[in-house]
Chains A and B, each alone.
Chain A
């Protein structure tokens, strides 16, 4: 066991990537071992689509009209539902402290965690969306728009939601606060997401909506990790 000198400790580039991969792999493995957390948002998503026609009207024409909005709102709420747990268990068992004390930039750690979260919520929701579309009589032309808009929109939801989760992780009851903090920021994504699906259904070009969703995603990718890192530091330091 030799103590390292200052020069030896220069962080190498591959080490950055391996840290990112390690956090990602760990989070995916944890999710796999706690399948209930994994299934909860998906079941919620499916339940909304099942109950909605029962509660409102089983009329195919009416359902086809509201389907884009219903699927998108359900996806948004399902994401929000899963958000609170993103940092909570790490905070409680002390691994979050250890992550903050890693020499690699917190930016990367946070990106890995958000990516893992998206792979466990946003991605399955996107893949399940056509099923809900069929259940709600969404016309076939709309399916492509629905998948594409969710594929671009759900990562933004995860990124923005993570800011709220990071800010409230130090509080005993953060659940309600997250919704209040994050919902206003979710609204643009919802508007353009459903807009894209409606455009696809009516045969109008999607490009504008997709470009806006893409722009929001890029903005989120660049800025959100900084906000999440800062919020985590504040929460842990308190």
Chain B
């Protein structure tokens, strides 16, 4: 798999009359982990929202497997997993119900291993508790359990380690690396120092205009 999964060309984004990044180009190949760095407000989340197709406030071109993103949107969405700022967990439902719902609307998620996934994120015994009675970290773990169910090649993760304890972070980091080794690709933002490995690359948004005064 040498073909680039995601190719970004001359991406430009402006927000509230402030240039967040301009002429941003990069390629993401299978087996790579791309860490987006930058200080608060440098546009990390905005970039991830653009790449996932949630936001269209940009100029430039994004290609998925060599085709313009707009034309292959459905295929792209079926092969992408997005983890956003809000965990996307319904407070009135239990962790199991939340995950079951995700597996019904996202064909790329595997529904047979829900219990194993919940066990892996340390929520065994909480399957039947409504999520509003769980802690913030546990709620994010419910959403992160999707990573264990996912068969999508591309993961886009916005601050996946926020409110997660040390051991959880180490596990997720290992999972991300394993995903890359199996031919997947990950784009993530985090303020956590990732252990260097072969596939890890970094892009710093501070150098790309906007925030450095």
Contact = CB atoms under 8 A, between A and B. Distances in A.
B33 to A, nearest CB: 15
B101 interface: yes
A135 B102 CA distance: 46
Most B-side CB within 10 Å, residue of A26, A30, A33, A34:
A26
Contacts of B85: 94
A102 B106 contact: yes
B200 interface: no
Contact of A30 (B53, B54, B89, B93): B93
B82 A98 contact: yes
A22 interface: yes
Contact of B75 (A6, A12, A15, A102): A6
A95 B74 contact: no
A206 interface: no
B80 interface: yes
A77 interface: no
A200 B108 CA distance: 53
A11 B130 CA distance: 31
B90 A102 contact: no
A97 B84 contact: yes
Contacts of B27: none
Interface residues of B, number: 41
Chain A binding site: helix, strand, loop or mixed by DSSP?
helix
B151 A98 contact: no
Contacts of B53: 101
Interface residues of A, number: 35
Contact of B82 (A4, A23, A29, A97): A97
Most B-side CB within 10 Å, residue of A4, A12, A95, A109:
A95
Given A9-B78, A11-B78, A103 B86 contact: no
B87 A94 contact: yes
Given A93-B88, A94-B84, A103 B183 contact: no
Contacts of A101: 52-54, 77, 80, 82
3 nearest A-B pairs in the assembled complex, by CB-CB distance:
A94-B86, A22-B104, A94-B88
19 contacts: A1-B151, A2-B151, A3-B151, A3-B184, A4-B79, A19-B104, A21-B104, A23-B105, A26-B97, A30-B93, A94-B84, A94-B85, A97-B54, A97-B88, A101-B52, A103-B74, A236-B55, A237-B55, A237-B56
Given A30-B92, A101-B52, A102-B77, 9 more contacts: A3-B184, A6-B79, A9-B75, A15-B107, A94-B87, A101-B80, A102-B105, A103-B108, A237-B55
